[in-house]
Amino acid sequence: MPAPVISTVFANAVGTLEAHPQGYAIVRYHAVTVEIPALHELLTHLGQLLLRRGWRKVLIDSRALAVFRQEVKDWVRANWIAPLIARPPDLVLATLLPANVFTRLALLELQLGSGNGNQNHNFADEAAAHAYLCS
């Protein structure tokens, strides 16, 4: 069986947004220090993609993600988790955890403190994350 054709929808300094033909978005974070303006741009495009296509599933590849500063965590809580950025409610998120232990802890802190109805599932293996979202 041929591999699915995944199309790139948007990219900037923070990450790349892709559309999977099975009906979900993929966010691949780059190995950079996250700056809020670029993160805002990436998450705005993610929200628009999800709304436009009627999707609510996202694979978040944060394996290369650099350390989250406190101001970035605060911004994510206030703007994405809240959500102020337009997106569907109650997302299903399959997250590939960061390699950096401090970044992993920051991301887990965001997940545990969200309380917004999102379903967060963490994976070490990308194939398992894709299989979960396709089920």
pLDDT in tens, 39-84: 999 999 999 999 999 999 999 999 999 888 899 999 998 998 887 8
One-letter amino acid of 121: H
Alpha helices in the chain (DSSP H): 36-53, 70-76, 101-112, 126-134
CATH 3.65.10.10 matches 7-134: no
Residues 113-134: pLDDT tens digits? 766 678 999 999 999 999 999 9
- Residue 5 is given by DSSP the state -
- Is the predicted pLDDT of residue 2 greater than 90, yes or no? no
pLDDT of residue 95 exceeding 60, the answer is yes
Burial 27-66 (b: 16+ CB within 10 A, else e): bbbbeeebeeeebbbbbbbbbbbbeeeebbbbbbbbbbbb
Nearest to 58 by CA among 72, 66, 48: 48
Does the global pTM surpass 0.85?
yes
Of 73-82, 87-96, 105-114, minimum mean pLDDT range: 105-114
Residue 69, φ and ψ in degrees, nearest 5: -75, 155
What is the model's pLDDT at position 11? 98
What ranges do the domains of the chain cover? Answer: 7-134
